[in-house]
Structure 1
Amino acid sequence: MQCPACDHEAAQPDFGDPLCCPSCGAFYAKALAARQRRENSVEAVPVHGVAVKKRGGMKWFLAAGGLLLGGYLIASPYITVYQIKQAAKARDADALEQYIDFPRVRESLKGQLNAKVMESAKSEMADNPFAALGVAFAGAMVDSMITSFVTPAGLAQMMKGEKLELKGAPQSSGGDAPSVRQSREPFEGAEMSYQGVSRFVVIVPDENGDGPVRFILTRSGISWQLSDVKLPL
């Protein structure tokens, strides 16, 4: 009997313990089981080769994870636009609140309209002593109009390339003041593109040919949010 542990081969006759090796004292059964486990673990491949395979598998796993993450980061603004579109179609104000920074959009639109009012009033400021009062009054009207227009329903209407129309007097920002026609879907026919790492633009053509409306999304971490709307003034 050859010992699986030390390869000692007992001479015959051997009057020692038939279960143990007379040379190293190892039990034949335990030594044989341990040897089989070692052989099965390496599978006839050198130890260094196994280590290389393990490292190669980990590198492949990390590379695949990096590709998936990179693909998601590239597609994330398109996903956000789709989510905004679905929420606008469903007129889900709560969902739109997650994807649209309403305070920033209101401030941007106020700035655009006030600048347009000032530009139109420049030619009258010198000759009309009441022009400054008119500009101040117009600025107050702009604030009231933007508060009424920039609602989930109002933005959904702009996403369709339609002009805003009020039903009656201005309402609070939480109401659906603008009437929304159902002729087009939100972002229908829109062009989308990156304008930098953290800026994504959706260009919606105007149905009356007055110029496109640009919806600006900005990135925060790995998420995107609509933060600005540029009107064709």
Structure 2
Amino acid sequence: MRVPKRIQGSATRPLLITLVVVIVIAALGFVYASPYIAVNNLKRAADARDVQTVNQYVDFPALRDSLKQQVGAMLTRRLEADAGNKMATIGAVIGVTLIGPLVDAYATPDGVSALLNGMPPRGTPGEQPAAPPAGGTDAAPAAADNGSQPNAAPPERKGTAGYRSLNEFAVTYQRGEGNANYSAIFRREGLITWKLAAINLNE
């Protein structure tokens, strides 16, 4: 018995509507998840020193400008806090003259890796980004105190991530100094493209 075309069309229409709804939901889910994917891809590429991939996920001119402002502000706060300690003040003044080299050191795959492993710049003269924790990108935070090993990398600190606005996404880390935090800030470029564009060292 042949089924009339009108009945066939009525039967297939709900399936088409369901399929469209599923596709739309999947697309929206992917758009929402895109910054999380970008952070994960960038961290893995930076830890592996994959320069080509890092360049795809970092707006280096914007990151340099942000680092320059943030490190300068950090050193200014140090000057104000150490006003009574002449040696500390002299060290901070020297640090101010070295903002350029420090920014140059952190606006690199090594620096990006350090930033995304919870190891921001401290503003000390001649500072270089710390190496990623041993064990790769999935290493758990270490409990040991590195105070007796000045050249050892600090333990990796896990971050919390989330949207701050429609076009801004941030990964926030605890600095290990009381309740002090800092954030790596990603900005949207297009619909699903996100790039690391700024650092806030004083959340």
TM-score normalized by the length of structure 1 = 0.61
Return the alpha-carbon distance in structure 1 between the equivalents of residues 134 and 178 of structure 2: 16
**Deviation by residue 1:113-147 (Cα, 9 ceiling, x = unmatched):** 3344556778xxxxxxxxxxx98x87653223212
Q: 1:151 aligns with which of 90, 108, 124?
A: 108
Q: Does 1:113 align with 2:83?
A: no
Report if aligned partners of 1:87, 1:93 keep a CA contact under 8 Å in 2: yes
Q: Does 1:229 align with 2:187?
A: no
> Mind listing any 5+ residue stretches in structure 2 that lack a counterpart?
81-91, 138-155
Query: Which letter does structure 1 place at the counterpart of 2:28?
Result: G
Return the alpha-carbon distance in structure 2 between the equivalents of residues 156 and 209 of structure 1: 23
Instruction: Tell me the secondary structure at the aligned position of residue 109 of structure 1.
Output: helix
Q: Does 1:180 align with 2:137?
A: no
> Mind listing any 5+ residue stretches in structure 1 that lack a counterpart?
1-38, 123-133, 171-176
Q: 2:84: which partner in 1?
A: none
The offset of 1:226, in angstroms, is 1.1
Query: Which letter does structure 2 place at the counterpart of 1:62?
Result: V
The offset of 1:214, in angstroms, is 0.4
Query: Which letter does structure 1 place at the counterpart of 2:15?
Result: G
Return the alpha-carbon distance in structure 2 between the equivalents of residues 179 and 188 of structure 1: 13
Query: Which letter does structure 2 place at the counterpart of 1:104?
Result: A
Return the alpha-carbon distance in structure 2 between the equivalents of residues 194 and 163 of structure 1: 21
Return the alpha-carbon distance in structure 2 between the equivalents of residues 145 and 164 of structure 1: 8
Report if aligned partners of 1:210, 1:232 keep a CA contact under 8 Å in 2: no
Cα RMSD for the two superposed structures = 3.4
Identical aligned pairs, as a percentage? 24
Return the alpha-carbon distance in structure 1 between the equivalents of residues 162 and 55 of structure 2: 23
Match runs of 1:82-231 below 5 Å: 82-117=40-75, 140-164=97-121, 178-183=129-134, 188-209=157-178, 211-220=180-189, 221-231=191-201
The offset of 1:110, in angstroms, is 0.8
How many pairs align?
Answer: 173
Report if aligned partners of 1:161, 1:212 keep a CA contact under 8 Å in 2: no
The offset of 1:185, in angstroms, is 5.6
Q: 1:129: which partner in 2?
A: none
Query: Would the alpha carbon gap of residues 200 and 184 (structure 1) be closer, same or farther in structure 2, given more than 3 Å must change?
Result: farther
Return the alpha-carbon distance in structure 2 between the equivalents of residues 222 and 163 of structure 1: 27
Report if aligned partners of 2:75, 2:95 keep a CA contact under 8 Å in 1: yes
The offset of 1:181, in angstroms, is 5.0
Query: Which letter does structure 1 place at the counterpart of 2:24?
Result: G
Which has the bigger relative contact order, CA under 8 A and spacing at least 6? 2
Return the alpha-carbon distance in structure 2 between the equivalents of residues 89 and 96 of structure 1: 10
Instruction: Tell me the secondary structure at the aligned position of residue 56 of structure 2.
Output: helix
The offset of 1:215, in angstroms, is 0.8
Report if aligned partners of 2:157, 2:173 keep a CA contact under 8 Å in 1: yes
Report if aligned partners of 2:113, 2:132 keep a CA contact under 8 Å in 1: no
